[in-house]
Every structure is written in structure tokens, then in C-alpha cells.
Structure 1
């Protein structure tokens, strides 16, 4: 197994570990589902699994390590590492700051508190920003045209999820959400 594969495995263990821990703890604490059944979320999950599988396929194709790489490869490696770290830090802040309002997809019959502070005072969708950084990180890290194309598709799917959540939050929080929407950027 080469070092690229190991780095991506470690990144995924941390990134997904935080996600699953948050879901498990919150589900137990609230005693009700925290995952919606909307098709957009299910499609994104399926897409992400395909993206991840192809990421590992691409990573396994790499020969040698960073020591045998060109200057361009070292720059891509370094930028990819920075983006991976940023994705983890933003995901962590998102999970923490959203608290008990965290949901995976929209659950129409549940009302949550609108969070406007912490990282949610900078971006209305920081967890999705973390996913976009993850896509960019793997694309740059592996210098893959295939992952670049898939990242574009991933952004489109994320944007659909965001629009769906915006409609839900607008119904749930009315004018408060409209003001928040005006004051804070959708992504960055």
C-alpha cells in the first residue's frame, strides 16, 4: 500500500469518524431519527461512495512516494494535505457549532434551532464546504482529471441539497432565516 492510500484512509477515518460519532451520540440523546429520507441526500451518499471508491482506485495507481516526486508533485501533495486538514477542521467546527440541530438531510416534521453563530456566522453551509474541500483535496493530491470531473458533479449535487435545505429552513424560520440568508454567504 502506498503512502497516498494511507493518507486518504487516515483522512477518511477522521472525517467519517467525526460524522458517525456525532450521528450516533445525537440519535441516542434525542431518541428520534436524525437522518431524513429525502432522495437528494440518498443520491449524494451514493455518489460520495462512488467518488471515494474511484479516489482509492486512483491512489492505488500511484507508484513511489513523495521522495521520488517532481516539484509539481510535491506542490500538489502539499496543497492536497492543506485542503484535507481544512476539510477536517471545518467539518469539526460545523458538527460542534450546530449542536442538537444537526440533521442528515431534511426531516420535515422536526423543528430545529436556527444556528447563526460560530462557523455558521461565516457560512450557512460549512459542512458542505468541508465536502467541497475534500473533493478538491483528493483531486489535487492525486492530480486526477477523473476526480476533477466528479468534483464538479459533486458540487452540483451539494448545491441541490443546499437549495432543498434552504427551502425547508425558510418555511421553518421565516423572516429570521431570510435575514440570516442576507447576512451570511451560502458557502464562503
Structure 2
């Protein structure tokens, strides 16, 4: 296994390992973290969540396959500089994702959750982004795709990032109904992805 393959494998295992570790920790506290496609929700929300769940789980398999079969699959990128840039982006995305989960504490959920009581978190990374965990996902997906780019990984990157954006829109609708004026005020002061793009993000 090459150095870049080893780096990619460690990052992928760290990203998904942190997600399942958080899920398991919350389960010991009686918290059901995975709410994707579960509960009484609008049909559109359910369709997006189920599609996202299937696609992201498939993406994990595609990423592992792309890393293991790196020297055998058709690669779109041969530049080592660009591939290691991808590794750096994936690592940054993983760190942002883990920090976002830690900041959310026991309010962390995957999917819209109207059944369990949660708090609106606006500190830490959430001062600079309304959705730092999703930003972490996007950077992670982009990075691994750059480092191990082939037709399948590129296709799943497009599908996953598009569905993640649709999921953000659905969750933000729920947050308005759940937290009202408090969330509306927060949304005005904090960008959907990063505060630098506040005007564009808030206008969508």
C-alpha cells in the first residue's frame, strides 16, 4: 500500500469511526442519533433522508474501494500535488466534522428530529457556520475524491453533496419551526456554510 493510500484509509476510518462512536455514546444515554428516514415527517423530507442515507453509506464503500484499488481503477487525476491537496482537504473536513459533533454534545442528530428535545447550538464552530458538520462532510468527500478520483467516486461525490445540500434546506425549515425567532436571528448573523458567504447563504 502506498503512502497516499495509507493516509486516505486512515482518514476514512477516522471520519466514519467518529460518527459511529458518537452514535454509540449517545445510545448509552438513551438517545437515538440516527433519525434519517424515521419518524412522522413530510414526504419530501423522508425521500431526501432515505436517499441521503443510501447514498452516503454507498459512498463509504466507494471510497474504500477507490483507495484499495487506486493503482487499478481508471484515475482522472495523476498529479501528486493535487492528490495530496485532496488528502489535506479530507483531513480538514474530518477535523471540522468531529469538532462539530463535540460542540453539539447531546443535541447531535442525523436527520430531522421532532420527537426528541434538543437545544439550539450557536457557539464554537457554529458561530461561523450554521452547518459545520455538513461543511466537514463536503470537504471530506471532496478531498477523498481528489485523492482517488475515478468515474464512480466522482459520480457519488456529486450525488452526495447535492443530497447533503437538500438535507440542509429541510433541516433549516424544521429549525425555524422548532426555535422560531431565536433561529431566525441566528440565521441572519451566520452563513449557511461559512459566514463569509452570509448574504448568498441567507438569501436561499
Q: What secondary structure, in the 3-state scheme, does the structure 1 residue paired with 2:180 have?
A: helix
What residue ranges of structure 1 are gaps of 5+ in the alignment? 65-71
Q: Contact conserved, 1:76 with 1:140, CA < 8 A, in 2?
A: yes
CA distance in 1 between counterparts of 2:121 and 2:63 reads: 33
What residue ranges of structure 2 are gaps of 5+ in the alignment? 39-45, 73-77, 195-204
Query: Is 2:11 aligned against 1:11?
Result: yes
Q: Contact conserved, 2:100 with 2:132, CA < 8 A, in 1?
A: yes
User: Match of 2:53?
Assistant: 45
Q: Contact conserved, 1:2 with 1:62, CA < 8 A, in 2?
A: no
CA distance in 2 between counterparts of 1:41 and 1:114 reads: 21
> 1:5 offset after TM fit, Å?
4.1
User: Match of 2:100?
Assistant: 94
CA distance in 1 between counterparts of 2:143 and 2:170 reads: 26
Q: Classify 1:50/1:35 alpha carbon distance in 2 versus 1 (closer, same or farther; 3 Å).
A: closer
Q: Classify 1:17/1:55 alpha carbon distance in 2 versus 1 (closer, same or farther; 3 Å).
A: closer
Q: What secondary structure, in the 3-state scheme, does the structure 2 residue paired with 1:34 have?
A: coil
CA distance in 2 between counterparts of 1:153 and 1:181 reads: 26
Q: Contact conserved, 1:76 with 1:141, CA < 8 A, in 2?
A: yes
Q: Classify 1:56/1:17 alpha carbon distance in 2 versus 1 (closer, same or farther; 3 Å).
A: closer
> 1:58 offset after TM fit, Å?
3.1
CA distance in 2 between counterparts of 1:73 and 1:132 reads: 21
- Aligned counterparts, 1:1-188, within 5 A: 1-29=1-29, 31-36=30-35, 37=38, 38-63=46-71, 73-188=79-194
Q: Contact conserved, 1:97 with 1:119, CA < 8 A, in 2?
A: yes
CA distance in 2 between counterparts of 1:13 and 1:57 reads: 13
1:74-126 Cα shifts (integer Å, max 9, x gaps) = 21222012112101110111011111110111121223110011001111111
Q: Classify 1:63/1:49 alpha carbon distance in 2 versus 1 (closer, same or farther; 3 Å).
A: same
Please give the TM-score of this superposition, normalised by the length of structure 1. Answer: 0.86
Q: Contact conserved, 1:101 with 1:112, CA < 8 A, in 2?
A: yes
1:147-169 Cα shifts (integer Å, max 9, x gaps) = 33322221210011111110111
